[in-house]
Amino acid sequence: MGLSKEARKLQLETIVDVVEDCGNNGHVTTRQLSMLSNKIAERVPLTPLQADRIDSLMQQAESQIFSAEDIEEELDSAAIQETCFNRVLYKIGQCVFPRSQLSNYRSYIYAYRCWPPPLFCPLAITLAIVLYVMVSFEHFQTVAIRPCNAHYVYPYITNMFFHTSLSHLISNLVILFFCCIKELVHHYRIIVIFFLSGIGSALVYVTFAKDDIPSVGMSGAIYGLLAVHISDIFLNWREMPLRFLRLLIIFGFLVMANFDLIFGESSIYDSNVSHFSHIGGFLFGLPLGVVFLRNLEARSYDTVARTACSVLLPFFFVLGMVLNLFRSVRICSHLEEEKSKTLTEILMKSV
């Protein structure tokens, strides 16, 4: 692994101090680089890649001089490339971005350290596949979220890992596979957001459900993760590579996935797709991203947005739970009345 953010900051402070001590108008010569590297190593050990960069600079002509920014850039880029994943990202950035933007690109990659590796997304994919193969459709009434079992806690979690068809399963798992990259960057935050978005989507589904129809699938949680990516782009707008392309891909997917609903070919109710779950997951995902994800350059409006979302999210979760309880009682009571009425009609006919 490379250096921590604190160690890197200490290195850069040492560079500035040593360069100022040299008294060459903010520059050091090739010969003075040896002293500089020793000074840095006394505070924070150089990584192997950083030591190689310093050696390569020292082998240049003795008349060569370097500014503090030059040395900082060399050590910074070396620290970034300490992991294989970051080396790949760095090479891509060199090919894609103009030199004027590479410093922002490097800061983004370095701040989002890609360790530990993603574990939750692969495990969730494996669990969904195993349950699809082993659990029959008849058991879905118990594990699915529906108005008549909304007063229990477990359906809000279990419904996410069951799917009604192979196409339903594959479409969700493909997107979750690409979300492994988000888990690399944000680690446990993605797990929290996944479950909270899934729970939020279930709350919205039950609140607007007309009948006791079960709903399963992690589509709500997936839509939450897509919304989180949008939040991440806007939180880190200046440092986010390919931001317009990312937004185009996300919105393109949303349009294709909801083509029938957007262009009036199906109703939000008269469809085999749980559109309310998708809408709920997306609406909860946006503020969850603002609250939980890291933004590299905090601004005043970031703080305001985070504070507002931190207050509104608990309110809407509690509101959704209350509405779900009322909805559950109302629909279940209606179903009991219908059953009682049907039973009475049968008895009267038999008499």
The string of pLDDT tens digits covering residues 135-164 is 887 778 788 898 888 888 999 999 999 988
Q: Is residue 351 part of a domain?
A: no
Q: Is residue 243 part of a domain?
A: yes
What is the distance, to the nearest Å, from the Cα of residue 31 to the centroid of all Cα atoms in its chain? 47
Helix (H) or strand (E) holding 184: helix 180-186
Backbone angles phi, psi at 210, to 5 degrees: -90, -35
Res. 274: pLDDT tops 80: yes
Going by their DSSP bridges, the two strands 27-29 and 65-67 should be labelled as antiparallel
Comparing 94 with 129, the larger pLDDT belongs to 129
Total-model pTM? 0.70
276 and 313 both lie in a single domain = yes
Res. 83: pLDDT tops 90: no
Q: Which pLDDT score is estimated for 1?
A: 45
94 and 134 both lie in a single domain = no
Q: Is residue 102 part of a domain?
A: yes
289 and 149 both lie in a single domain = yes
Domain's final residue, options 33, 54, 80 = 80
Would you place residue 3 in the very low, low, confident or very high pLDDT band (cuts 50, 70, 90)?
Answer: low
8 A C-beta contact, residue 201 and residue 215:
no
95 and 148 both lie in a single domain = no
131 and 197 both lie in a single domain = yes
User: What is the extent of the structural domain holding 278?
Assistant: 119-340
Q: Which pLDDT score is estimated for 264?
A: 66
235-265, pLDDT tens digit by residue? Answer: 877 777 778 888 898 888 888 878 777 776 6
Q: Is residue 222 part of a domain?
A: yes
325 and 249 both lie in a single domain = yes
257 and 317 both lie in a single domain = yes
Backbone angles phi, psi at 28, to 5 degrees: -130, 150
Domain's final residue, options 80, 107, 129 = 80
Residues 6+ apart with CB under 8 A from 89: 109
Residue type, 235: L
CA 271 – CA 276 distance, rounded (Å): 11
Buried b (16+ CB within 10 A) or exposed e, 144-156: bbbbbbbeeeebb
Q: Is residue 347 part of a domain?
A: no
User: How distant, in Å, are the alpha carbons of 136, 141, 213, 309, 310 from that of 317?
Assistant: 31, 24, 22, 12, 11
Res. 215: pLDDT tops 80: yes
Selection from 16, 9, 56, 52 nearest residue 36 by Cα: 16
Q: Is residue 346 part of a domain?
A: no
Assign residue 255 the CATH number of its domain.
1.20.1540.10
CA 78 – CA 125 distance, rounded (Å): 35
Count of domains forming the chain: 3
CA 210 – CA 207 distance, rounded (Å): 9
Highest mean pLDDT among 45-49, 56-60, 149-153, 238-242: 149-153
145 and 14 both lie in a single domain = no
202 and 161 both lie in a single domain = yes
Res. 89: pLDDT tops 70: no
Q: Is residue 350 part of a domain?
A: no
Q: Is residue 349 part of a domain?
A: no
Q: Which pLDDT score is estimated for 129?
A: 93
